[in-house]
Every structure is written in C-alpha cells, then in structure tokens.
Amino acid sequence: MAKPISFARGAPSLDIVDVEGLKAAADRAFAEDPAGATAYGTAIGYPPLRKWIAERHQVEPEHVLVTNGSMQADAFLFDALVEPGDSVIVERPTYDRTLLSLRNRGADVRMVELEPDGIDVAAVERELLAGTAPKLAHIIPNFQNPAGYTLSAAKRERLLELARAHQFTIFEDDPYVALRFEGSPLESMLSMDGDTVVYASSFSKTVCPGIRVGYLVGPAELIARIVKIATSTYISPSMVSEAIVYQFCISGALERSIETVKHALRERAKTLSEALRRELPDARFVEPQGGYFLWVDLPRGTDVGALFEAAAERDLQFVKGSDFVLEGAESSLRLAYSGVSPEEIEEGVGRLAEAYRDVTAGVAA
Amino acid sequence: MAKPISFARGAPSLDIVDVEGLKAAADRAFAEDPAGATAYGTAIGYPPLRKWIAERHQVEPEHVLVTNGSMQADAFLFDALVEPGDSVIVERPTYDRTLLSLRNRGADVRMVELEPDGIDVAAVERELLAGTAPKLAHIIPNFQNPAGYTLSAAKRERLLELARAHQFTIFEDDPYVALRFEGSPLESMLSMDGDTVVYASSFSKTVCPGIRVGYLVGPAELIARIVKIATSTYISPSMVSEAIVYQFCISGALERSIETVKHALRERAKTLSEALRRELPDARFVEPQGGYFLWVDLPRGTDVGALFEAAAERDLQFVKGSDFVLEGAESSLRLAYSGVSPEEIEEGVGRLAEAYRDVTAGVAA
C-alpha cells in the first residue's frame, strides 16, 4: 500500500502548529489568572479575550461573544435568526457543514453562484427582485471554503447596499482572513457596516483547531440574545482554552504563528498549482492568494464520483464538489493543501492525474 | 459595606482547585500528544479520555461521549430524545437550568416530590398509572442540586423497574457522586441496567469548572445519534481541555484533588449545619453527606422573597427555593457551601439569621 495522502480535510499539519508556544501560554494562563481560567465563566467567553477581540475589530466588548469554535457560533446565530422556512442566501458552492446546519433547521436555502471574485451579486439582486426575502446571506469573503476565492471590494459594497435595501443580515464568515499570502487585504464588511453584518472568525487556523475557540461580532442586542441561548446550552465555553488563546495572542506567539502558517501555505499552494498545471492540464482553477483550498473544475462530463473511487484505490483523498452544493458540481472537486507537505502534494497530484487518466480512458472506451 | 458572602453559586472556591496540577497536566498534554491535543478531534471527544471514562464505568468506549461540560451533554440528550409536548419526569425541586432547558424545548414537565431519600417513587408510579408516558425521568441521584438529598438503593431499584415496565429512559445526572464525605457510596443505576439508563457526569467538581469537560454514558446506538448532533453543532469539543483532564486523571492528581475537595466540603457542610442549628433554629434541613448544597425549609408562610431582599441588604446571596420548582417552595432556599470558607459560613449564617428576624418581625408587626 502507498502512504495515504489526504487533500480532504481543511486542517493544518502538526509542523505548522506552535506547540511550544501553546505550552508556554497554558503555563501563563494558570499562573497569571488561576481564578479566571479554572472557574465557571459566563457564556460571553473569557473576558480578557473578549476584550482583545473587540479591540482588534474596534468595537465595544458587548458586540463580541467567544464560543467553543466558530461552528458553534454559527449554530447559535442560526438558532437566534433562522426559523424553519426562512430563506437564507448562500454561495454555490459553500462549506458543507453550514449547508447541513441550515438544512437541519428547515431553512429555504438559496444558492447563488460563486465567481472567482465572489458571489454573483447581480444574481443575488435578481433573487431579491423575484421576491425572496432572506433573513441572512452567508458569505465567506476570504479564500472561501471550498473554492478558495475572495470577494472583491466592489462586491462587498454592493452586497451591503442590497442588504440595507432589503433588510437582511450579512453573515460574514471569515476564518481564513489572516492567512493571505499574496495580494493586499480587503476591508471586512463588518468594518464597513456594523449594523448590517454579523461576523464570525476563529483561532483554529492561527492557533490550532483542537483548542476550539471561535467568536461572533455583531449588534449588541443580537449578541445579548445569543448569550442567553449559549448560557442555557453550556453555561460557558472552556475558560481554560480561551485563557490559553489569550496568553498566546498577547505574547506575540499569534503573529509568529500566522507567519509560519502563511509561509507554509504559500509554498503548498504554489506547489499544488504548478503540479496541477504540469500533471493535469485539463484542470481549471484559480491559484489561491490565501487560505487552505483550491477548487478544480474538470471538463464537463468528467465523473468526479468515479475519480474519487479511482483516487481512493491509490490512497488519495479529496472532497467531491457535489458535497458543497444542493445539486450539480459533478465535475468539480476541492483540494485542501493545508495538511500536506510539498512532497506529499507532488506525489498526490501524480496519483490524481493517474486516477483521472483511468477514469477518462474508461469513458472514452 | 460588609464583605459580600455568596451561598448562591454551586462552584468551588479557588483554594480547593489544584492549579499546579492543572499546569503540569497541560504541559504533559502538549508534550505527550501534541497532535491529539491540537488537531480537530471528532465529536466523541478526546479518545484517550473517552477510553478512560469507559473503563471507569466498565463499558466499551462506544457507550461514551465526552462533551463541553455536562450541561452540553444534557442539551444533546434532550435534542435527541425530547420533542415538544413529550412528558419528562423531574424531581421537585430540581436544578433550575435543567428545568429551563426542558421548558425551552416545550417538554411537558412533570415534577414529582423529592424526599430526603430521593424522588417519591410511589408518586412516580401514580403518575404513570394515571396515563403519563414519559420519554425520560431526570434524576440527580447523589447530593441532589438543589436539595443535597441522595436516592436510596431501594428507590434506585424501584425506579428501574418502573422505567422498564413503562419503557422510559432514566437520565441519571450525577456530577456530585465523587464528593461523598460521609456514609457509603451506592451503586449507580447505570451499573444496574445499562439499557434503561443514560448517565451524565462531569469533571467540573473534581478538576475545575472552567475546563468544561463532561460526558454521557448510554446505549451505543443513542450515543451514535448524539455524536451526529454534536458533530453538526461544533465538530468537536476542546481537545486541549480534554487532553489536560486526561493527563490530570492518569497522573493521580484527580484522586488527590477529590480528597482535597471532600475534606473542605465536609468541614464546610458541618460548619453550616452547626451554625444553622445555633443561629436559625427555625430552619429544617437534612445535613448533607456529600456535594455542594443544603436545602432549608423555613416555617410555612415565611416569605423567602422578602428574606432574599433582606439578606441582599446585608451583602448575603442565596438562591430562593422557588427557582427550582414550577410553583411553590416559597418558604425554602438553597445554600451552596462549596465556594465559602468556614469563617464566611459563620458570618453568612449570622447575616441570614438577622435577615430572618427582620422579615419575621415585619410579619408579626
């Protein structure tokens, strides 16, 4: 058996996690604030971390809720805002867990095509003019999961105009923002209009996923409602985890960790793009400027289900494009390069290209 | 202003939390299993801790789910089992957060009187014979919150018989079991019948609350269903917190911590009981054999709402009995002795007695 290679999971490899920094942060968390780290907190999260996040986003702490990972933040937000039958606009393709979470709540999910510069805002407008009155539009603005695309500045402005005119909330889901390794950062929609936007992010990609610390920033009255939901769900998230993240942030370890991660991701994305161009010239893709993911469109008619099987036979994993949509995307796939070394990427793309040749030969035969 | 004294919150004081032990456990968690502690886990929890818990309860790991605190475990269990309109039997009085969580789900909550040896099983049987078909009976068997009472062995057996005959699940909610400082431990209902019982417990009282680690033990197919709910809620609980708890447990720190906590609780409970007998002879209560709480019944007609106000004027907090029932318990209160020193207990009972004299003098006037 070949060594398994996974382009499937959007998670960092251990070599880009600052384990020593985490250990030191844990020491300081218990030494400097033993009461705060070990006692029941409240559902707002660990207050010093809440304040630190608020300062980063230039809001008052009342606008921030720190949660057990940002998926939990999404769940609370949906609990607060989405009733069965409510329309929610999402990108097509979008993060499979968000899609599932919305469908589990009985939301009327309206997928709008994602373009390389972000969601098709003209299509959003047509949807609104046709009578859809969404509660929420879920947008992953930077290095989107699964596509790796980034929403342009012009489209950010247009989306905000549409949201204000049609009175819906933009849920700006932004876990990858810190991981830009090419190009210039764009202003968040939150900073452009704090009344229309609820913002979520996470320390999963900058500290580590296993610490499970994410957060929401939004209007104070909405955050207060969500605090009540969170209180009756779990009293408080892990104060130990949040105190460790806080110490990690204020010590400078966070900035160093982000540099490490960006450096590795830049190299991995470049290796992946070059290998795909060389080994799989049929693949169409946009070379990412940040984040974890690269979306590949194969020629129409390519059976990615069969490709998935052929790749699995070669111990290669990826996620089928169809997992990120309600229907279609059958010739597309998502490659995550966050957890694989350049050598594994070279080897993995070789296996993918072989699998592709098998599958397309089978079709031609 | 006098120094505030709180008999309100069921939480340990910092002096009985092993902060050094936690710091050492965190060091080992990152050193010995950096990948396991820092990577995304899955919703089952940190596998070594899951296995450790399973061994303690003599079940296979498939019967265990480790969660972000045991309130979160309750919420998942209710999500899996309780639909709006479903009947759920609970003790009267019972933990206010459980009551709220069930009412938020639209459950038909049936409170059955709690006696000093546990829930009135004859009243449970009458409820069943009258046609109530509960999904669940929520029982806190040891050192109940808020009453401090413990369910007798005979009643445990009778409850299981009733549950089997009427096909409902017993939710054995047991966070205080390790904190017995007098008398002999009783067998858990889980160990008597693993098909009829879902068991929850927590490390909040034996490690610390801020770590937020609790767990469920139940039938494997139910646990598998709850794993799905947990996955779509938060992917995984904090692996960092759970790896720390695991290291704390296997190092022997857990057993030492439990001894420290029990020693302190024994002294606090004794001090509280003696002070009440001396300063407030109208108080009726059962001296607890473990746990955090002592339930006080005052003479019928005593206005505990007014007592609460009069105590607050003296910077003394407690929780009114009425918070733990749907109606009634207006002459009762819960005193938590877990977070207060013997000196604070003496002083606090003095203030409570003064407040009581004020309130009863007012009534007589």
Domain boundaries, chain B: 5-16+255-364, 19-253
In this predicted structure, what is the pLDDT of residue B249?
Answer: 98
CATH architecture of the domain B5-16+255-364 equals Alpha-Beta Complex (3.90)
Structure tokens, A126: 């047509």
DSSP B133-195: --SEEEE--SS-TTT-----HHHHHHHHHHHHHHT-EEEEE-TTGGGB-SS-----HHHH-TT
Which of A150, A251, A142, A149 is CA-nearest to residue A202?
A: A142
Note whether B234 contacts A39, CB cutoff 8 Å. no
In this predicted structure, what is the pLDDT of residue B2?
Answer: 83
Q: How far B196 CA sits from the closest chain A CA (Å)?
A: 25
A-chain CB neighbours of B34 within 8 Å are 14, 17, 19
Between A26, A34, A232, which is nearest B100 by CB?
Answer: A232
Do B93 and B329 touch, CB atoms closer than 8 A?
yes
What is the total residue count of chain A? Answer: 365
- State the Cα–Cα distance between residues B24 and B297, nearest whole angstrom: 44
Which of A113, A116, A90, A114 is CA-nearest to residue A103?
A: A90
- Residue B208 CA: distances (Å) to CA of B87, B110, B257, B269: 33, 32, 10, 20
- State the Cα–Cα distance between residues B355 and B302, nearest whole angstrom: 12
Do A38 and B208 touch, CB atoms closer than 8 A?
yes
In this predicted structure, what is the pLDDT of residue A46?
Answer: 98
Question: Residue B70: pLDDT band by 50, 70, 90 thresholds?
Answer: very high
Q: How far B280 CA sits from the closest chain A CA (Å)?
A: 31
Best of A78, A215, A238 to disrupt the B interface (most B CBs within 10 Å) is A238
A-chain CB neighbours of B211 within 8 Å are 38, 238-240
pLDDT digits (tens, 9 = 90+) for B76-125: 999 999 999 999 999 999 999 999 999 999 999 999 999 999 999 999 99
In this predicted structure, what is the pLDDT of residue A48?
Answer: 98
Sheet of A118-119: strands edge to edge?
A64-67, A214-217, A197-202, A169-173, A136-139, A87-92, A108-115, A118-119
The pTM is what?
A: 0.96
Per-residue pLDDT of chain A (365 residues; tens, 9 = 90+): 689 999 999 999 999 999 999 999 999 999 999 999 999 999 999 999 999 999 999 999 999 999 999 999 999 999 999 999 999 999 999 999 999 999 999 999 999 999 999 999 999 999 999 999 999 999 999 999 999 999 999 999 999 999 999 999 999 999 999 999 999 999 999 999 999 999 999 999 999 999 999 999 999 999 999 999 999 999 999 999 999 999 999 999 999 999 999 999 999 999 999 999 999 999 999 999 999 999 999 999 999 999 999 999 999 999 999 999 999 999 999 999 999 999 999 999 999 999 999 999 855 54
pLDDT digits (tens, 9 = 90+) for B24-48: 999 999 999 999 999 999 999 999 9
- State the Cα–Cα distance between residues B120 and B92, nearest whole angstrom: 10
CATH architecture of the domain A5-16+256-364 equals Alpha-Beta Complex (3.90)
- State the Cα–Cα distance between residues A342 and A171, nearest whole angstrom: 34
In this predicted structure, what is the pLDDT of residue B365?
Answer: 44
Instruction: Give the pairing type, strands B332-336 and B319-320.
Output: antiparallel
Other residues' Cβ atoms within 10 Å of the Cβ of residue B228:
13
Using DSSP's 3-state secondary structure scheme, residue B198 falls into strand
- State the Cα–Cα distance between residues A13 and A352, nearest whole angstrom: 21
Do A287 and A314 touch, CB atoms closer than 8 A?
no
Please state at what angle helix A253-279 crosses helix A19-32, rounded to 10 degrees: 160
Q: Which residue of B has its CA nearest to A69?
A: B234
pLDDT digits (tens, 9 = 90+) for B214-233: 999 999 999 999 999 999 99
CA quadruple A292, A298, A301, A306: dihedral positive or negative?
negative
CATH architecture of the domain A19-253 equals 3-Layer(aba) Sandwich (3.40)
pLDDT digits (tens, 9 = 90+) for B337-350: 999 999 999 999 99
In this predicted structure, what is the pLDDT of residue B362?
Answer: 60
